[in-house]
Amino acid sequence: MGKRQIPDPPNLKKYGVPFYSVAWIPQHLIKSHQIQTAHDSDDSSNSDHNSAPSTEPESEPAAKAESEPASVTTGNYLLFTGGGGAGRSGIPNALVIAHFDIASNSLSSQPVFKLGTDSELPYRMALHSQGDGLICAMETPKVCRWFDWDYQNKSSEIHKLSLKMSDKVLTQLEDVGQQLALAFNNDGTALAAGGEDGNIRVFKWPSMEVILNESNAHSSVKDLHFSSDGKLLASLGSGGPCRVWDVSSSMVLSSLPNENRETFSSCRFSQTNDKTQVLYMAAMTDKGGSILTWNTQTWERMGSKHIIRDAISAFNVSADGKILACGTPSGDIVIVNSTNMRIQTMIKKAHLGIVTALAFSPDSRALASVSMDSSARVTIIEEKKTNGGLSLWIAVFIILLAIAAYFHQQGLEK
C-alpha cells in the first residue's frame, strides 16, 4: 500500500501562482471599509442568505475573483504577487488577496480577490502604508505599474476589497530597465527604486519629484530599506559593500564593508530592546547563512551570528524589533530572537521550494512567507517562556536532594 498523503496544514495554501512578494494590507485600510467575501452571486441585498456579491470588478475583465463561502468584515488580509512570466507555460501572472484568520490559524482556501496581469509578471512590489495603492515592478516587460484599491458598492455599507490597474503613468520609471527593489518610507512620502543596472532613484510621493538619482550606486541593486524616520536609506548590490544614504542630502553617509568574502543579501533597519538603532544584514559567510549587526550611530559592526548552514534567500524583521526571520532555498523558515540571536523556532520544509519573501504582520504576531512553489504560509509567533528551563532544573535539584536525604537517613538507621 502506498503512503497516505498528509494534507497541508490550514495555514498553508497554494494559489496556483509562483510568488515573489508578500505584504500585509494595512488594518486602517480594512477598518475604513467593511469587506465582504463570498461566492459569486446576485448583487441584490435581498439575495439568499447563503449567497453574496462577487468580488470581480466589471471594469477589469483581466481580474478573476474567487471567494470563500463565509462573509467577513474584519481581519487580516495579505497581498501576494507573482506568476509564470511571459512564456506559454499556462501559469498565470497575478496579484492575489487572501484572508488569514488568526483565531483558527488558517488562510482562506481560495483567494479573496485575484487580478490577472496577462503576460506581465509582477516581480517586485511596494505597498503604500497610507492606502494610496501599490507599485509593481514587472519582469516582462521591464516597466513599473501602479495599482489602485477598487472599492465596489461605494453607496452601500458593504464594500468589497479589490484592485485595478491605474491610469496613472509613472513617467520617471519608464524606460529605466528592470527594477529589482522597491520601498516606501514609513509615512509614505518617499519611494525608492533600485535597478538591475545599479541605479538608485528616490522620489517624493506622490509628486515623483526626484530626491536622489545615483547611476553608479552598485553593479546591480538587490535590496533597499528606509530607516524608521525616513532619513536614511540602506542599499545592497550584487557584490561589494552596503551603502547608507542620507536621503535629504543625497550623500553616502557610510559604506559598510563585507569582510572575509561575505555576500550580503538583505538589509533591514530596526532597534534592539534598549532602543539602540541598528542595521541588520543577512549574509552568506564561510560558515553559512548569518546575520550581521551595525550600530547606526557609530556605524561600527556590533556582531556577526551564524544562523544556518544554508543560504538566506529571504529576510525580515518584526515591527517591534524582537524577532528576525530567515527563509532558505530549501524551503525552511527560521525565527530568531533578536535579544540573544538564538533560534526560537525552525520550520523545516515550510515550503517545497525556495522562500522568496517574508513579511511580519504590523502587530508582530504573525509571519507570512511565500515561495516559488505557489504556496503562501502564515506562522503565528509563539512567545517563549524564559523561566521554563530554570523551573525544570529546580525540580530536578529538589528530587536529587530528597533522594540523597533518604539514603542518608537509611545509613543512620543502620
66 falls within a domain:
no
Closest alpha carbon to 120 in 90, 94, 146 = 94
22 falls within a domain:
yes
97 falls within a domain:
yes
Compute the distance between CA of residue 284 and CA of residue 290 in angstroms, rounded to an integer. Answer: 6
Compute the distance between CA of residue 104 and CA of residue 127 in angstroms, rounded to an integer. Answer: 26
Closest alpha carbon to 170 in 208, 196, 138 = 208
Please report, in tens digits, the pLDDT of each residue of the chain (414 residues total): 556 678 899 999 999 999 999 999 988 777 665 544 443 434 444 444 343 333 333 333 344 444 333 333 457 999 999 999 987 678 999 999 999 999 999 999 999 999 999 999 999 999 998 989 999 999 988 999 999 998 665 554 445 788 999 999 999 999 999 999 999 999 999 999 999 999 999 999 999 999 999 999 999 999 999 999 999 999 999 888 999 999 999 999 999 999 888 999 999 999 988 889 999 999 999 999 999 999 999 999 999 999 999 999 999 999 999 999 999 999 999 999 999 999 999 999 999 999 999 999 999 999 999 999 999 999 999 876 544 445 566 666 677 777 777 666 666 565
167 falls within a domain:
yes
Domain residues for the domain of 119 are 8-35+74-174
Compute the distance between CA of residue 356 and CA of residue 315 in angstroms, rounded to an integer. Answer: 9
Closest alpha carbon to 328 in 296, 298, 288, 365 = 288
Compute the distance between CA of residue 318 and CA of residue 32 in angstroms, rounded to an integer. Answer: 24
Give the tens place of pLDDT for each residue, 349-358: 999 999 999 9
| Phi-psi domain of 180 (left: phi exceeds 0; alpha: psi -120 through 50; beta: other) | alpha
**What are the C-alpha distances in Å from 151 to residues 61, 159, 386?**
16, 6, 46
383 falls within a domain:
no
Compute the distance between CA of residue 272 and CA of residue 137 in angstroms, rounded to an integer. Answer: 32
The grid coordinates listed for 370 are: 511565500
Compute the distance between CA of residue 339 and CA of residue 313 in angstroms, rounded to an integer. Answer: 22
E strands present in 32-150: 63-64, 76-82, 94-101, 106-107, 113-116, 122-127, 134-138, 144-149
**304: part of which helix (H) or strand (E)?**
strand 301-308
Torsion of the alpha carbons at 201, 205, 211 and 215, rounded to the nearest 10: 10
Compute the distance between CA of residue 297 and CA of residue 25 in angstroms, rounded to an integer. Answer: 32
114 falls within a domain:
yes
Maximum CA extent, the chain: 97
Compute the distance between CA of residue 113 and CA of residue 333 in angstroms, rounded to an integer. Answer: 27
Give the tens place of pLDDT for each residue, 141-191: 899 999 999 866 555 444 578 899 999 999 999 999 999 999 999 999 999
Compute the distance between CA of residue 50 and CA of residue 37 in angstroms, rounded to an integer. Answer: 12
Number of domains in the chain: 1
The grid coordinates listed for 211 are: 530626491
Q: Which domain CATH number covers 79?
A: 2.130.10.10
The grid coordinates listed for 122 are: 509582477
**184: part of which helix (H) or strand (E)?**
strand 179-184
96 falls within a domain:
yes
pTM equals 0.84
Closest alpha carbon to 333 in 301, 358, 300 = 358
Q: Is the peptide bond before 329 cis (omega within 30 degrees of 0)?
A: no
| Phi-psi domain of 105 (left: phi exceeds 0; alpha: psi -120 through 50; beta: other) | left
92 falls within a domain:
yes
Compute the distance between CA of residue 171 and CA of residue 403 in angstroms, rounded to an integer. Answer: 80
How many other β-carbons are positioned within 10 Å of the β-carbon of residue 15?
A: 23
Compute the distance between CA of residue 183 and CA of residue 357 in angstroms, rounded to an integer. Answer: 14
